[in-house]
Amino acid sequence: MAESSPILTMTGISKEFPGVRALSEVDFRLFPGEVHALMGENGAGKSTLIKVLTGVYDIDQGDIALDGEPVRFASPLQAQHAGVSTLYQEINLCPNLSVAENIYIGREPRRFGRIQWSEIRKRADALLLERLDLNIDVSAALGSYSIAVQQMVAIGRAIDISAKVLILDEPTSSLDANEVQQLFRVMRQLKGEGIAILFVTHFLDQVYEVSDRITVLRNGRRVGEYATRDLPQLDLVSRMIGQELAALERLEEQPKRSLAALESTQPVVEAQELGRKGAIAPFSLTIHRGEVVGLAGLLGSGRTEVARLIFGADRADQGSLKIDGQPVTMRGPRNAMSRDIAFCSENRRTEGLIEELTVRENIILALQATRGWTRPIPRRRQEELVDKYIKVLRITPADPDIAVRNLSGGNQQKVLLARWLITEPRVLILDEPTRGIDVGAKAEIQRLVVELSDGGMAVLFISAELEEVLRLSHKIAVLRDRAMVTEMANDDTVDADRIMQTIASGADR
């Protein structure tokens, strides 16, 4: 790749949200005719960077230059007219309109004020065929085509408006393998035409297949910019995940109870070839009393899907699940709850808390649900339970009657945890319980996990932070690309490097 001058440079970009510094002094550049992958774990700042570039958010600090000219877009529309088009994971087009209408909506060719429909169809047909190699009926409704085709149409619209820079935010997450190849073909062709493509994905293989250059972000900072061929997968993974040991309060190194002793008892949860098409390939996993099983893997690797199948949030379509040695079919969360399984979802806002209800109501919700509506928990008992957990988990403010939406992320997480702890579960599934919360709360939650497992609870612990998984787990299962790759006892031979290697290569040494 010739070192021509970059089409886009972002320098010293900072962006702060109340309480969170989403980007600090990030530099980024993009050259014409390259596919540039933007990599990072959740909350690393990828989406924020894209949004400040395209004018969704204001910038607190920093400069953007397009074609050498300083720019600052006030809206995505303005960015698009300047040649910076963004395609999000969800397609922002109108499925009920025809393909041709979608491409030309808002800028229809007119003559004497009348829209020229035949001209629209003709141009749309030519555009898709010539530049995207897509031969479809452009007068059919967009919604009648597959997601992949819809995405192509969105790309077609973007490049027709004028694209110097095309941003693809997770375009492949809902495509199958053939469709991904089709998309990559188009990306390569557009690259050949000199368009700069910014590509965000969680699939490592795709990064190596299609990208020329990689920028890695972590915790709102730029870790570095690398040529793809010079950065082995292992290095990429370790740069994405990082090692934040120092910041965290270390748990006292207590001798871990031996795995052999734990595993001598009958497993509480025993999944055999459990799986669900399109979500997670069949996996086998056992969890024993008092055992912490960690799930490691990048985002989208299938960690959450494993948890959801065991809890019955999704139904498995293959394999079997035994609880206490009894075969069960999980039809829904209630089935799991009646067997004392609890699940703290990673999406606190959408799948966890009821934001407008109070702290007290949110905490008693699951317990009340198991009792049914006719047997309300007496007010005094509610207050006892809620006060106890507000104290134990140090929820602040310690006011049970404020709406939970007014709490900080860490305290919301504790409320969710309290909801499940008062149901006295024997199996606790924690999906990213420490994400997006401050270091202090993080250490408290980790300490709690140790205490609970010492008390005999079986814990399935999911986290993107390897250090955390390593510190807490007796056994670690590694996932990659929606399949469980391997399972290892967390003994002296296991460290972050070995897990990263497994994530990167898909096999344990």
Partner 1 sequence: MTAVIAATKHRIFWPAMILVLLLLSNLLLTPGFFSIELRDGHLYGSVIDILRFGAPLIMVAVGMTMVIATGGIDLSVGSVVAITGALACLRISELDDQNSVSGVLSAVMIALLLAVALGLWNGFLVAVIGLQPIIATLILMVAGRGLAQLITGGQIITINSSPYKLIGAGYWLTIPFSVILAAAVTALAVGLTRRSALGMLIESVGGNAEASRLAGIRSRRITVMVYVFAAFCAGVAGLMISSNVSSADGNNAGMWYELDAILAVVIGGTSLAGGRFTIGGTVIGALIIQTLTTTIYTMGVPPETTLLVKALVVTIVCLIQSPAFRAKVFGRSRHRPPPIAPAGPAPLEKAEVSAS
Which is closer to partner 1, CB of 125 or CB of 361? 361
Residue of 381, 405, 438, 495 that binds partner 1 (CB under 8 A): 405
Q: Sign of dihedral through CA atoms 86, 90, 92, 96?
A: positive
Tokens read off for 120:
């629209």
Q: What letter does residue 158 receive in the DSSP assignment?
A: H
Binding to partner 1 by residue 334, rule CB under 8 A?
A: yes
Which is closer to partner 1, CB of 282 or CB of 436? 436
Distance CA 482, CA 436 (A): 24
Residue positions counted in the chain: 509
The separation between the first and the last C-alpha atoms of the chain, rounded to the nearest angstrom, is 34
Which is closer to partner 1, CB of 95 or CB of 109? 95
Which is closer to partner 1, CB of 89 or CB of 139? 89
Among 39, 47, 34, smallest CA distance to 8 is for: 34
Tokens read off for 118:
């035949």
Nearest approach, Cβ of residue 370 and partner 1 (Å) = 6
SS3 letters across 312-328:
CCCCCCEEEEEECCEEE
**Residue 172 burial (CB count, 10 A):** 22
Binding to partner 1 by residue 409, rule CB under 8 A?
A: yes
Binding to partner 1 by residue 43, rule CB under 8 A?
A: yes
Helices and strands (H and E) in the chain: how many: 17, 22
Among 36, 504, 47, smallest CA distance to 228 is for: 36
Among 149, 150, 9, smallest CA distance to 84 is for: 9
Binding to partner 1 by residue 355, rule CB under 8 A?
A: yes
Residue of 373, 380, 455, 509 that binds partner 1 (CB under 8 A): 373
Amino acid at 63: D
Binding to partner 1 by residue 354, rule CB under 8 A?
A: yes
Nearest approach, Cβ of residue 474 and partner 1 (Å) = 27
Distance CA 124, CA 120 (A): 6
Binding to partner 1 by residue 506, rule CB under 8 A?
A: no
**Residue 77 burial (CB count, 10 A):** 12
Q: Which stretch binds partner 1 (CB under 8 A): 66-74, 85-93, 261-269, 452-460?
A: 85-93
Which is closer to partner 1, CB of 37 or CB of 195? 37
Exposure of 325 by Cβ count < 10 A (0-12 exposed, 13-18 middle, 19+ buried)? exposed
Which is closer to partner 1, CB of 185 or CB of 349? 349
Nearest approach, Cβ of residue 3 and partner 1 (Å) = 32
E strands, 120-182, in order? 165-169
**Residue 436 burial (CB count, 10 A):** 17
Nearest approach, Cβ of residue 496 and partner 1 (Å) = 23
Site for partner 1 in 427-456 (CB under 8 A): 435-436
Which is closer to partner 1, CB of 364 or CB of 457? 364
Which is closer to partner 1, CB of 293 or CB of 366? 366
Nearest approach, Cβ of residue 20 and partner 1 (Å) = 4
Binding mask 305-324 for partner 1 (x = CB under 8 A): ------x-x-----------
Tokens read off for 370:
């198991």
Binding mask 152-191 for partner 1 (x = CB under 8 A): ------------------x---------------------
Q: Which stretch binds partner 1 (CB under 8 A): 6-14, 63-71, 185-193, 357-365?
A: 357-365
Distance CA 282, CA 274 (A): 5
- Total of residues contacting partner 1 (CB under 8 A): 60
Binding to partner 1 by residue 18, rule CB under 8 A?
A: yes
Q: Please compute Rg for the chain using Cα positions.
A: 25
Among 254, 246, 209, smallest CA distance to 229 is for: 209
363 pairs with which residues across the strands? none
Distance CA 218, CA 168 (A): 20
Residue of 20, 126, 245, 251 that binds partner 1 (CB under 8 A): 20
Residue of 356, 384, 424, 451 that binds partner 1 (CB under 8 A): 356
Q: If you search the block for the tokens 């077609």, which residue do you land on?
A: 156
Binding to partner 1 by residue 121, rule CB under 8 A?
A: no
Site for partner 1 in 48-67 (CB under 8 A): 48, 51, 57
Binding to partner 1 by residue 368, rule CB under 8 A?
A: yes
Residues near partner 1 (CB under 8 A): 17-20, 22, 42-43, 46-48, 51, 57, 88-90, 170, 202, 299-300, 304, 311, 313, 332-334, 337, 343, 345-357, 361, 365-366, 368-377, 405-406, 408-409, 419, 435-436
